[in-house]
C-alpha cells in the first residue's frame, strides 16, 4: 500500500502540501529532502558528486542514512511502471539497481505541480560508461566491458526480458576479479515476458547496435574516446560477443550413444561459463545418436554455489576465484565434507584476510574483490619467488604496495575519471 506523508517548511511554518511516497519500506529521511524544489535546483548540501551517464531525465544523487540514492524526475505512470519492473527483476535476482520509492504529488511553495521522482539505490563501486571510455581506457579493458554488456544482454533474454533501449548509458559496470559485471540501471522501456522470440531478441540487438554506435560517436566527438577505438567496431563487437555466447548456451548438440557422459560434459562447460542448467532436453535421432539441448538456463552458477556454502554474495568471477581457493583449501586439509570445509575456510582464511584490511582502506573495494585480488597477488609473488609465499605475506604486500595507492571511486575500475560536465 502507498505511504502518505505531509511536510512543513522549517522557516515560516507554512504548509507545503503533502507528497505521496510509494515504497516497500519508507526511509524516514526521505521526508527531509526538498520535494517542493525542482530537482535541477536542489541545493548542494543534499547532493553527492558522482559521475553519471547521459540521461533524458534530470538525475541527482543524495546520501541518506549511509546509503547513496539516485533520484530521477519522470512521469508518474512511467515511474510506477519502472518501479514495478525493477522490483520484479529484483525478485528473480537479475543484475539491476534496486527500486526504493516513488515520490508523487509534488508541488512548489507557490502550488505549481512538479514531476514525480523515482528513487533507486546507487550501486556501490559502480561507474557509468562515460567514466570508462576515456583517453586512459586501455583497449583490453574495453574488450572486458563489451563482454560484460554482451553477457548482460544474454542473461536478460534468457530471463524473457526485452530491454527496448539497450545502451551504455543505461548500464553500470563493477569490477569482477579481473573482468567486469554489467548492471541494468534504466528499465522504463523494458517488458518482462515468459520468453522471447528470435525476432524480439533481434530487435533488442539492433537497438543496442544503433545506441552504442551513437554513444561511441558522441564520445569520439568530445575527445573522450581512445584513438585506437573505432565506434563502428565497438557496436559490432557487442553483437558478435552476444551471438557467440547465446550459441554456446542454447545450441543443439549431437552426441554418440556410447558417449552419453558428454551430456554431463556439456553441463560442466555451461557451468564454467557461469550458467546453471536447471533442465535439459535429450532426444534420439534416426542413427541412434542423442540430440541434447539446454532448456532452462540461468546465470550465476558460481555465485549461487558460493552463497550456499559460505553465505558470501559475490559477482560471478569473484565467486569462481573464491571457490577455487576454497576447493584448494579443502584438498590440502583432507576434508571430505564440503560444508565443513566451507565453514573452516570462511573462518580461518577469508575472514582473517578481510579483518587485516585497515578501516581507512575498506571503502576502496568490496571485501570479496579485495580477497580475489589478494589471491592473484599471492600467485604473482609466488611465481617470482619460485615457491608459495604464504597468505600473510601476500596480504601485507598487497595492502602496502597495491591497495593503499588506489583512490576510492577511481580504483574501482582502474581508470582516471574525466572531470564532470
- Give yes or no for a contact between 71 and 55, defined as CB atoms under 8 angstroms apart: no
What is the reported pLDDT for 6? Answer: 39
For the chain, give the mean pLDDT.
Answer: 82
Reported confidence tier of residue 85, pLDDT bands at 50, 70, 90: very high
Reported confidence tier of residue 1, pLDDT bands at 50, 70, 90: very low
Q: How many angstroms separate the first and last alpha carbons of the chain?
A: 39
* Pairwise pLDDT comparison (421 vs 108), residue with the higher score: 108
The arithmetic mean of pLDDT across residues 271-289, rounded, is 78
What is the distance between the alpha carbons of residues 248 and 244, in angstroms, rounded to a whole number? 6
Looking at mean pLDDT, say which of 25-29, 41-45, 136-140, 360-364 comes out highest. Answer: 41-45
The DSSP symbol for 415 reads: S
| pLDDT tens digit sequence for 328-339 | 888 888 888 888
* Pairwise pLDDT comparison (108 vs 11), residue with the higher score: 108
Domains defined for the chain, CATH in brackets: 3-121 (no CATH), 126-250 (1.10.510.10), 253-299 (no CATH), 316-411 (no CATH)
Residue 294 reports pLDDT greater than 70: yes
What is the reported pLDDT for 190? Answer: 94
Residues in the chain: 421
Helix-helix angle 316-332:338-345, to 10 degrees: 110
Alpha carbons within 13 A on the beta-carbon side of 115? 18
| pLDDT tens digit sequence for 298-322 | 778 888 889 889 988 888 889 989 9
Closest CA to 126 of 416, 412, 420: 412
The arithmetic mean of pLDDT across residues 228-233, rounded, is 87
Residue 22 reports pLDDT greater than 70: yes
- Give yes or no for a contact between 247 and 297, defined as CB atoms under 8 angstroms apart: no
Residue 206 reports pLDDT greater than 90: yes
How many percent of the chain have pLDDT more than 70? 88
What is the distance between the alpha carbons of residues 70 and 342, in angstroms, rounded to a whole number? 37
| pLDDT tens digit sequence for 142-187 | 788 888 899 999 999 999 999 999 988 899 988 887 778 899 999 9
What is the distance between the alpha carbons of residues 177 and 373, in angstroms, rounded to a whole number? 7
Reported confidence tier of residue 17, pLDDT bands at 50, 70, 90: very low
| pLDDT tens digit sequence for 258-271 | 766 677 778 888 88
What is the reported pLDDT for 408? Answer: 60
The DSSP symbol for 314 reads: -
The arithmetic mean of pLDDT across residues 15-31, rounded, is 71
* Pairwise pLDDT comparison (230 vs 414), residue with the higher score: 230
How many percent of the chain have pLDDT more than 90? 37
**Cross-strand partners of 99:** 120
What is the distance between the alpha carbons of residues 349 and 127, in angstroms, rounded to a whole number? 30
Residue 39 reports pLDDT greater than 70: yes
* Phi-psi group of 245: left, alpha or beta (phi > 0 → left; psi -120 to 50 → alpha; rest → beta): alpha
**pTM for this structure?**
0.74
What is the distance between the alpha carbons of residues 377 and 371, in angstroms, rounded to a whole number? 10
What is the reported pLDDT for 51? Answer: 61
What is the reported pLDDT for 4? Answer: 40
Cell 505531509 sits at which residue?
A: 6
Residue 66 reports pLDDT greater than 80: no
* Pairwise pLDDT comparison (140 vs 245), residue with the higher score: 245
What is the distance between the alpha carbons of residues 22 and 346, in angstroms, rounded to a whole number? 39
Reported confidence tier of residue 137, pLDDT bands at 50, 70, 90: low
Amino acid at each position: 500500500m502507498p505511504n502518505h506523508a505531509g511536510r512543513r517548511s522549517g522557516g515560516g511554518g507554512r504548509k507545503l502540501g503533502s507528497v505521496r511516497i510509494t515504497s516497500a519500506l519508507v526511509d524516514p529521511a526521505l521526508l527531509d529532502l526538498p520535494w517542493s524544489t525542482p530537482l535541477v535546483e536542489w541545493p548542494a548540501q543534499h547532493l553527492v558528486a558522482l559521475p553519471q551517464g547521459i540521461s533524458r531525465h534530470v538525475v541527482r544523487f543524495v546520501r541518506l542514512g549511509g546509503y547513496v540514492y539516485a533520484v530521477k524526475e519522470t512521469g508518474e505512470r512511467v515511474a510506477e511502471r519502472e518501479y514495478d519492473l525493477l522490483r520484479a527483476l529484483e525478485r528473480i535476482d537479475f543484475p539491476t539497481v534496486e527500486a526504493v520509492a516513488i515520490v508523487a504529488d509534488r508541488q512548489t511553495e507557490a502550488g505549481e505541480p512538479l514531476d514525480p521522482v523515482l528513487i533507486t539505490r546507487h550501486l556501490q563501486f559502480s561507474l557509468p560508461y562515460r567514466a570508462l571510455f576515456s583517453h586512459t581506457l586501455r583497449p583490453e579493458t574495453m574488450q572486458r566491458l563489451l563482454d560484460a554488456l554482451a553477457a548482460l544482454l544474454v542473461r536478460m533474454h534468457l530471463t524473457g526480458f526485452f530491454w527496448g533501449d539497450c545502451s551504455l548509458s543505461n548500464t553500470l559496470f563493477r569490477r569482477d576479479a579481473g573482468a567486469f559485471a554489467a548492471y541494468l540501471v534504466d528499465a522504463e522501456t523494458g517488458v518482462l515476458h515468459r520468453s522471447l522470440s528470435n525476432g524480439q531478441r533481434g530487435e533488442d540487438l539492433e537497438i543496442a547496435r544503433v545506441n552504442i554506435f551513437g554513444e561511441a560517436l558522441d564520445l569520439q566527438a568530445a575527445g573522450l574516446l581512445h584513438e585506437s577505438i573505432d565506434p563502428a567496431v565497438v557496436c559490432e563487437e557487442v553483437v558478435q560477443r552476444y551471438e557467440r555466447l547465446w550459441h554456446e548456451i542454447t545450441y543443439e548438440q549431437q552426441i554418440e550413444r556410447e558417449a552419453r557422459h558428454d551430456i554431463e560434459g556439456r553441463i560442466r562447460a555451461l557451468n564454467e561459463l557461469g550458467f546453471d542448467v536447471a533442465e535439459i532436453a535429450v532426444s534420439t535421432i534416426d542413427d541412434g545418436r542423442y540430440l541434447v539441448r539446454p532448456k532452462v538456463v540461468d546465470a550465476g552458477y558460481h555465485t549461487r554455489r558460493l552463497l550456499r556454502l559460505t553465505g558470501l554474495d559475490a559477482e560471478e568471477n569473484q565467486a569462481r576465484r573464491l571457490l577455487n581457493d576454497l576447493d584448494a583449501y579443502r584438498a590440502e586439509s583432507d576434508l571430505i565434507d564440503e560444508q565443513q570445509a566451507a565453514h573452516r575456510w570462511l573462518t580461518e582464511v577469508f575472514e582473517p584476510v578481510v579483518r587485516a584490511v585497515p578501516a581507512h582502506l575498506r571503502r576502496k573495494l568490496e571485501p570479496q574483490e579485495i580477497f580475489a585480488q589478494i589471491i592473484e597477488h599471492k600467485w604473482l609473488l609466488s611465481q617470482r619467488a619460485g615457491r608459495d609465499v604464504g597468505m600473510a605475506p601476500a596480504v601485507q604486500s598487497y595492502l602496502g604496495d597495491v591497495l593503499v595507492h588506489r583512490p576510492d571511486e577511481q580504483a574501482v575500475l582502474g581508470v582516471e575519471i574525466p572531470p564532470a560536465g
